[in-house]
Amino acid sequence: MSQGNQSRTGHDTLVAINGHALKTIRTLLRIKRTDLAASAGISVDYLIKLENSPHTRRVTAGVFTGLHSNLPGVPHQAILANPNAGQVAA
Cα distance between residue 68 and residue 80, in whole Å: 10
Residue 46 placed within a domain: yes
CATH at residue 21: 1.10.260.40
30-75 pLDDT, tens digit each: 999 999 999 999 999 999 999 999 888 999 999 999 999 999 999 9
* CA 43 to the chain's CA centroid: 14
* Residue-range definition of the domain harbouring residue 73: 3-79
pLDDT of 1? 47
Domain count, the chain: 1
Residue 67 placed within a domain: yes
User: Identity (one letter) of the amino acid at 15?
Assistant: V
Q: In the chain, at which residue ranges do the beta strands (DSSP E only) sit?
A: 6-9, 12-17, 57-60
Nearest Cα to 64, choosing from 54, 84, 74, 45? 74
Q: Considering Cα of 78, then 81, then 86, then 89, what sign does the dihedral take?
A: positive
Residue 64 placed within a domain: yes
